Structures are given as C-alpha cells and as structure tokens.
Amino acid sequence: MKIKQYRTQFIKELSSLYDAYEAESFFYLILENKHKLRQIDLALNHELSFTDTDFEVWDSLLKELKKEVPIQYLLGKTNFYGLDFEVNENVLIPRPETEELVEWIINENKITDKTKKLKILDIGTGSGCIAISLAKNLPNADVYAMDVSKKAIETAKKNAICNNVKITFILKDVLELEILKSNFDLIVSNPPYVRNLEKLEIKKNVLDYEPHLALFVDDNDALVFYRKIAALAQKNLLENGQLYFEINQYLGQEMTDLLEAMNFENVELRKDIYDNDRMISCRVL
C-alpha cells in the first residue's frame, strides 16, 4: 500500500478519539520519526510505499494510540523550546505553557556582560526541559536541577548530554529540605499543582500514563510545594534574586496572596496563551 493511502486509513482509524487535525499530526510525527520523511516529501512523491515490516510497526503504534497512550511516549521524544528531549513514563511531557515560562525567564535575564554569572536552580526538573532550555539560551548561567525521582534525573541527564549543556543534578525531595546548600540568583519550579478534585478535567492520555507524582497534590494543601520552595527562596536567593513558578490556573490569586504575605516584592502574575493564570514571579530585595 502506498503511504498516502495508508495515511487516509490511519486518520480514519483514530477518528473516534481524535479530530482529523490531531490524527494527521500524529501521522506526520511518526513518518518523520520512523522514516525520516516529511509532509513535503509525501506531497512530492505520491508513489512512496511501506514494506510489510513498516506496516507491522505502524499498526503497533496505531493500537497504542487507540489506548490513548501519548504520542510522545510512543516515539520516546518531544520538542520543547526548539530542542529535542527524551520522554518516558517517568517524566511529564513538556507543555507549550511551560515554554512561555522559559521565554519569560530568558527575556528578563539575558546578560550582555559576559563576565557576569547567573546561578539558577530548577526544582522538580523532570525531563530537564526548563533547566536545559535555560542553560542553552543563557550561556552565562550555571544551572542546577533537582528532582525527587531517580529515574527522572536519569532521563534529564541524558537530555543534557544530547543538548550539549552542563547541568548539576541534585536528587532530593524538596519537602524534606530546610535550607539549600548554595545560594542562587534565580529559582524556578513547575511543581505538582493539579488537585484531585480536578481529575475529571484531565484527559485520559494524561491521567492514565503520565506520572502522578509530578502532577497531583492533596486538595487540602494545594500550595504545599509553593510554600516550601518560597521559604527556601527566602533563605537562599541572593540580593535581588528572582523566583518563578508555573501555577495552577485556578489559584492565581492564592499564589499572589501567598508570595505577598511572605514579603516578596514585585509579584507579577501572567496568563498563558489560553488566557489562564499560569505563571508568577517575584523578587527578594
């Protein structure tokens, strides 16, 4: 069967779960990942065909997609802020909203003075997407990345190597720390923030396959990680140090109140591309 014919069949098979645009995007992601072919290649050569072995691979992937396994886990990789990252069941799949947080940090911390160093800590690094993107785009930065999961750290280390950046990794549970071993100019975190009461809003491909350790917090203490990290920031941020968080879209006011009550200055809440309260920053003066 020609690839173009199979494409029509592939999209139809997924029509009960995904809209045509999303199913088509899956098709081209797999085509490029497995065959190094792009959409333009197929458009220019309608005679391209799959072998029997190819069909076995595609049918296997199609079966998993029907179970709503994330395409990123099936391919073992995703793109974030223009970089490639390995992803697996031990780490969250990076989101576009987190790219916005990275963009905010980079724009506010581009240093023209090449002799000046910036020391950054990413808490709850997961795949390493935030830490690695910052290291790649802020060449004057020394970047540290912490996570409670050994397997997540292993994945992040691979990603740092693949993206040719140096990151110092720390295997620690931030909730058990009273003070950090070093001081920093900037601390950033995208910690667990989805309350159990919000599980009904979570799609099956996230709820069934992405690590709950990195997603969920108790309904009765949804800001537990933010409060802890903010307390550490009070002790370990240098003068005029910056603190950035990705946050639960429903808790923007609560986060603002928390940081102001802890006497942080210049608290700024920002919305994401979907007009949800998604990120916040503040300073220690």
What does the alpha-carbon distance between residue 54 and residue 277 come to, in Å, rounded to a whole number? Answer: 44
Query: What's the pLDDT tens digit per position in 199-258?
Result: 888 888 899 999 998 999 999 999 999 999 999 999 999 999 999 999 999 999 999 999
What does the alpha-carbon distance between residue 58 and residue 47 come to, in Å, rounded to a whole number? Answer: 18
3-class secondary-structure state, position 269: strand
Rounded to an integer, the average pLDDT of 9-26 is 94
Q: What is the CATH number of the domain that holds 208?
A: 3.40.50.150
Residues 6+ apart with CB under 8 A from 92: 126, 127, 210, 211, 214, 215
The total number of structural domains in the chain stands at 2
What does the alpha-carbon distance between residue 193 and residue 231 come to, in Å, rounded to a whole number? Answer: 17
If asked whether residues 156 and 25 sit together in one domain, one would say no
pTM higher than the cut 0.85: yes
Residue 107: CA atoms inside 13 Å, Cβ hemisphere, count?
6
The boundaries of the domain holding residue 215 are 88-284
Answer yes or no: is 79 within a domain: no
Q: What angle do CA 114, 282, 185 make, to 5 degrees?
A: 30
If asked whether residues 23 and 154 sit together in one domain, one would say no
Residue 111: CA atoms inside 13 Å, Cβ hemisphere, count?
15
Query: What's the pLDDT tens digit per position in 60-102?
Result: 999 999 999 999 999 999 999 999 999 999 999 999 999 999 9
Average pLDDT value for the chain: 94
Residues 6+ apart with CB under 8 A from 33: 75, 77
Answer yes or no: is 239 within a domain: yes
